[in-house]
Structure 1
Amino acid sequence: TKKILGVQPIRNTFNGKMSFFSRTLSVILRCWTRWYDRDDPGGRGDWEDLKNLRMENPGKICLKPSGIDAVTVDGEIPAKETGQYIYATDIGFICRNEDQEFEKCLDYKVRFRCPCIAPPLCWTDWFDRDDPNGQGDYEDLKRLRKEYPGQICPKPFRIQAVTVFGNIPAEDTGHTFQAYNTEVGFICRNEDQQFGRCMDYKVRFRCPCFFPPECNPICQ
């Protein structure tokens, strides 16, 4: 019987709970490490075991990975689909040439699922790029990022909108919003209001306090 144990990727345990205008972390974040390819199938086979990987990459792999993923170096074929006899356990990934029926092991690379540290979060400055004249008040992320490059993280965790005058929370104004979320930003259209037009709003976002401008700030 082929020994193929635990090779399939583990489901992402990042569970974003959406409220009307926020996204919060509800569980511990778990992230994939980078790919490792420390061995090739010459000799006994391909040994991507944790003991040697940790020695060669100190501090890069957690003590108790919750998942392991293995694919071929060429073509990135999942190990479970290669038809080879492989071992994926708590010691890492091993493919032994002596176990194969017709050929030696393919060359594999592996990665591991580990806890990752949730970054400290901070509010951005308030942004007020539009006023309610014309179509309404458009404080959407696409336009905000264009006008304020590098000041808003790629994936905000929360959004907050208040009126420019009086700092009244948007949800207390009675207005109808086309968008009020961390994916689009904030949009109030005059045509959607039952009485009058939109008020003038400003918005801010909850982001990691420090983040690279060109990449997802979490789990890279």
Structure 2
Amino acid sequence: MLQQPYCSTEVEAIDCWTEWFDSSEPSGSGSTENFARIARKYPGKICPNPIDIEARTLFGLTPEAAGDVIEKSSTNSGFTCRRRNQPNGRCNDYKVRFSCPPPYCAELVCWTKWYDRDHPSGSGDWETLGNLRDENPGEICEKPHYIEVVTTDTMTPAIYTGENFHIYNPTSGFVCRKVDQQRNICRDYKVRFGCPCNH
């Protein structure tokens, strides 16, 4: 086990996500992001056998949050939203990304402990990197490469809650604002940061 000043006990070779791909515009039948077409269009950008796929609208909404019924979301074939399956007869324009396993992503990542400095009682849930560093000196590396955000009660990944996020990146941290939510509330979240392991 590698021990770092900012490391918890967890060190892992992380699965990584590709960049986002928007290879086609919505057509007469709907929105399709085909894996084989993306792999041909962007050679070397995707591993041969992805282990997961994620789709978002161009505005960053999950299909569930956008209200679309998805026909297919598969690492083998890609993503398809058909107009005929939608109550309003339209599909949003989607982008997709793929998760690839080691050794495609061979980086070892040291994860910090989980931090929950704020509760969504005021304007929202603010788990910013600057505040967390101030309150926990020396525990978080200078340039985190990854961030994980889950709910404090059920450990549900933030991306599956359907909420909209003001900040969600490893260099700034995480912010869920009530004003950005349809119900004007945010769930309570905790975060941790993935730091490069020094060999």
Shorter chain as denominator, the TM-score bin is 0.3 to 0.5
Which structure would you say has the larger RCO, counting Cα contacts within 8 Å and 6 or more residues apart?
2
**Which of structures 1 and 2 has the bigger CA Rg?**
1
Given the two structures, how large is their TM-score scaled by the length of structure 2?
0.47
TM-score relative to the length of structure 1: 0.43
